[in-house]
Amino acid sequence: MSGQGCDPAWLARLPGLVAELEPYREMLLANVVMVGEIPAPTFGEEQRIDFVKQRFIECGLQSSSSDEVGNGLGIIPGSRGQQTLLLSAHADIPFAAGENHTFSVEPAAIRGPGVADNSLGVAALITLPTILERLGIRLESNLLLMASTRSLEKGNQQGIRFFLENTTLPITTAIALEGTPLGRLHYRSLASLGGIISCHVDRKLSDQSAIEVLNRLISRLGEIPLSRETNTACVLGSISGGATYKLPARTAQLAFQVRSDTDESVAEVNRLIHGIIDELSSGKSVSVQLEVIARTRAGGLPSTHPLVEASRKIMGVIGIQPRHGSYSSTISPYVEQGIPALCLGLSQGENVNYLDEYVEIEPLLSGMAQLIGLLVLLDGGRDE
Amino acid sequence: MNNSTIWLESNTFHHSQFWDLLRLIKRKEQLGLTISLCIPTLNEEKTIGKEVVLFKSELQDRYPLLDEIAVIDSGSTDDTVEVAAAFGAEVYASADILPEQGFKRGKGENLWKAIYQLKGDIIVYVDADISNIHPRFVYGLVAPLLYRQEVQYVKSFYDRPLALSKEIRPSGGGRVTEILVRPLFSLFFPDLTAIIQPLSGEYAVRRQILEKIPFPVGYGVETAHLIDVYSQYGLEAFAQTDLDRRVHRHQRVMDLGKMSFGILQTVIRRLQAKGMTTDMSSLSSCLRQFQVRENHYEQIIHEIVEEERPPMLQLESYRRKFGRG
């Protein structure tokens, strides 16, 4: 990475950057609405990506295109172009296409399913080229903008993983955008394994309820020793099963996640879970199966890394209080490829992943200012 | 082919034909025309913010199609006015425009006063209660006026089927259109039946037409416009654009009854002026509906008088302001 020396002129401009962004607030809000009202369930992001590409073309970006897994890409060429900064935001949201995607704009908030996670992130991505151009900010580095697909749940970040595994561009640093919360500064990834355990009872052989089987399984999971030293935890996320109160359930499922500071601890818990599953499904009438839906690897940057320190500095100058916690699964694909990466939030919000999800309008420009501030700083502080 | 069939072919558009906004802007500049957007409001705080944000950002900042975005409010008691102003719209109280003409409550009143208040050569009217608002609601209506000189008045219609299983499917307007307006048009103005949704609240019109027609202040304004523009300029003056889907509040049947009553008065007044029907003054101005209260039926009587504003051009103050002889 070059250019992390803090350019005094740029740092001096930063406190006033929020005010400079004021004329672009409506443009950002309009993009939030236009992005957010296009349904984009994981594996069904095509229409939303088409809109992103249309915006990239309107802004005159180079190589506006999709790749094999549907990621939407565009490049703002740098004046020197020796390095490439990657700015990404996942385009998928955890809502089915048939849900009502209507957004509302209130004086203090913008409301709609997926607005925080992550329509705002995508909107920031497609508004940024116009803002940079109108503020006269031209980077030396190429800036690669990417709305990534297949990130959530069973998508397991396939979009970003595919791109990082296959790109030939020399990506030096990556920033991932999430709608909320402002002050998020994630630069490490936990080791994790997310899975679904399905219990099935053959009704011809047994009238046992699959929920009883699941109950035994959950009790056994509670007995697995978890290392405190490595912050290993097993999260029981959701359960489902059965069809009616009148009959024993034929099927029951548990969705769970094991997470830890080390890949080895996750592997060990995984081994123990498999042992329990084998025991429970030993009879002919009961089968228990594990489907792994997501994995992340442990790693990332130390808190003293120049990229992390630069981000804290920018946040401080703009008046953003960094939040506790440095871990996000978003960082894992970058860890796997050895690319230094950060995940930033753009505003405050609530009810994330519920239909009444919203983000606050007022902090938005601070969120954008931190992003622009960091990009320029990473680039070396060039300003026309 | 009869007149309306030919017109239906040549003057019916889909908004996607006008996706190229850069071309549209160039055309506007070539013609040297200005365009104003008027959003009439009464207690629309839930939807007005999004409309203003989208139109301002997309059709002023990004593509400068609109020279003016104005909200004309008939006395909202919620935060409509504050929200619209906060997001950058010019907001006017209907009562403050042409105060010497007095204030009448109704959407038509706001539309009429907009002619005086706004500057544009073209005025686009878009209702404020559309929850799936999109820039197409404006550019889809303005484009036929920019590309076709002879077109004076562009109506919207909404015709996107959610699922299509047969080649032929019914198409048309809402309940009031199909039960009242289209039967009336079929009887008296058959050409106008080609307008798929005569009551749609979104339309773009040239000023030189708007200033010459009277405005019912209430429910009858859309129907009156169609009859009056048709009578003076023929069906060729109209175009219509499919704007896909419009999501808005569902109206109760009782409210539709009131709307129909206002529309009937508007139509009959015009039939009378053309010598096509009976004396209006002998008819009642009360609409009678029914409701049940504790097992008793009771009659509700609504006094609905469809007052009309004269053509703007008849006002001396307007002629002075816009230099019309």
CATH of the domain at A23: 3.40.630.10
Nearest to A102 among B83, B88, B132 (CB): B132
Residue A2's pLDDT is 42
Burial of A373: CB neighbours in 10 Å, binned 0-12, 13-18, 19+: buried
Smallest CA–CA distance, residue A325 to chain B, in Å, is 35
Shared domain check, A339 and A267: no
Is B11 at the interface with chain A, CB within 8 A?
A: no
Shared domain check, A64 and A180: yes
Residue A2 lies in a domain: no
Confidence at A235, pLDDT banded by 50, 70, 90: very high
What does the pLDDT look like over A126-145, one tens digit per residue?
Answer: 999 999 999 999 999 999 99
What does the pLDDT look like over A241-266, one tens digit per residue?
Answer: 999 999 999 999 999 999 999 999 99
Is A58 at the interface with chain B, CB within 8 A?
A: yes
Residues 6+ apart with CB under 8 A from A257: A192, A193, A194, A195, A234, A235, A237, A294
Nearest to B61 among A26, A33, A103 (CB): A26
Residue B278's pLDDT is 63
What does the pLDDT look like over A290-322, one tens digit per residue?
Answer: 999 999 999 999 999 999 999 999 999 999 999
Residue A34 lies in a domain: yes
Q: Which residue has the higher pLDDT, B278 or B189?
A: B189
Residue B90 has pLDDT above 80, yes or no: yes
Shared domain check, A183 and A199: no
Please identify, among A255, A274, A296, the residue that sits at the C-terminal boundary of a domain.
A296
Q: Which residue has the higher pLDDT, A91 or A207?
A: A91
Question: In A, which residues are within 8 Å of B58 by CB distance?
Answer: 30, 34
Of A151-155, A237-241, B163-167, B287-291, which range is least confident? B163-167
Report the range out of A356-360, B103-107, B298-302 with the highest average pLDDT. Answer: A356-360
Region A202-227: mean pLDDT is: 94
Region B185-189: mean pLDDT is: 88
Q: Which domain holds residue A234?
A: 191-296
Shared domain check, A247 and A110: no
What's CA A53's distance to the chain center, in Å?
20
For residue A270, give the CATH number of its domain.
3.30.70.360
Q: Do A107 and B56 touch (CB under 8 A)?
A: no
Residue with tokens 């009659």: B299
Shared domain check, A267 and A209: yes
Shared domain check, A50 and A175: yes
Q: Write the class of the CATH domain B3-252.
A: alpha beta
Region A171-186: mean pLDDT is: 97
Please identify, among A243, A271, A296, the residue that sits at the C-terminal boundary of a domain.
A296
With beta carbons less than 8 A apart as the criterion, state whether A261 and A298 touch. Answer: yes
Q: Which residue has the higher pLDDT, A4 or A84?
A: A84
Residue B293's pLDDT is 72
Region B233-247: mean pLDDT is: 91
Residue B276 has pLDDT above 80, yes or no: yes
Of A199-203, A298-302, B73-77, B103-107, which range is least confident? B103-107
Residue B161's pLDDT is 47
Confidence at A6, pLDDT banded by 50, 70, 90: low
Helix (H) or strand (E) holding B86: helix B80-86
Residue A67 lies in a domain: yes
Shared domain check, A92 and A212: no
Shared domain check, A199 and A150: no
Nearest to B87 among A26, A37, A58 (CB): A26
Residue B295 has pLDDT above 70, yes or no: no
Residue A3 lies in a domain: no
Cα torsion through A14, A16, A20, A22, rounded to 10: 110
Q: Which 119-178 residues of chain A touch chain B by CB within 8 A?
A: 130
Residue A12 has pLDDT above 50, yes or no: yes
Q: How many structural domains does chain A have?
A: 2
* ipTM confidence: 0.79
Q: What percent of chain A has pLDDT over 70?
A: 97
Nearest CA in chain A to B82: A107
Residue A44 has pLDDT above 70, yes or no: yes
Burial of B122: CB neighbours in 10 Å, binned 0-12, 13-18, 19+: buried
Residue A323 lies in a domain: yes
Is A264 at the interface with chain B, CB within 8 A?
A: no
Residue B171's pLDDT is 58
Please identify, among A273, A296, A319, the residue that sits at the C-terminal boundary of a domain.
A296
Residue A58 lies in a domain: yes
Is B46 at the interface with chain A, CB within 8 A?
A: yes
Question: In B, which residues are within 8 Å of A29 by CB distance?
Answer: 53, 57
Is A105 at the interface with chain B, CB within 8 A?
A: yes
Residue A234 lies in a domain: yes
What does the pLDDT look like over B167-184, one tens digit per residue?
Answer: 555 556 688 988 899 888
Residue A8's pLDDT is 80
Smallest CA–CA distance, residue A265 to chain B, in Å, is 49
Q: Which residue has the higher pLDDT, A381 or A38?
A: A38
Nearest to B57 among A30, A103, A104 (CB): A30
Residue A384 lies in a domain: no
Q: Do B62 and A34 touch (CB under 8 A)?
A: no
Nearest to A30 among B47, B58, B83 (CB): B58
Helix-strand-coil split of chain A, %, nearest 5:
35, 25, 40
Q: Do B57 and A58 touch (CB under 8 A)?
A: no
Region B256-283: mean pLDDT is: 86
Residue A330 has pLDDT above 70, yes or no: yes
Q: Do B61 and A34 touch (CB under 8 A)?
A: no
- For residue A278, the one-letter residue type is D
Of A103-117, B63-77, B289-303, which range is least confident? B289-303
Q: Which 3-42 residues of chain A touch chain B by CB within 8 A?
A: 26-27, 29-31, 33-34, 37
Residue A104's pLDDT is 93
Residue A383's pLDDT is 41
Question: In A, which residues are within 8 Å of B54 by CB distance?
Answer: 30, 33-34
The values of phi and psi at residue B189, to 5°, are: -135, 70
Nearest CA in chain B to A23: B61
Residues 6+ apart with CB under 8 A from A271: none
Is B88 at the interface with chain A, CB within 8 A?
A: yes
Region B302-319: mean pLDDT is: 90
Q: Do B46 and A27 touch (CB under 8 A)?
A: no
Q: Which of A33, A34, A38, A105 to mutate to test the interface with B (most CBs of B within 10 A)?
A: A105
Confidence at B296, pLDDT banded by 50, 70, 90: low
Q: Do B62 and A102 touch (CB under 8 A)?
A: no
Shared domain check, A274 and A201: yes
d(CA B26, CA B32): 10
Confidence at A1, pLDDT banded by 50, 70, 90: very low
Kindly report the average pLDDT of chain A as a whole number.
93
Q: Is A286 helix (H, G, I), strand (E, B) or coil?
A: strand
Shared domain check, A202 and A180: no
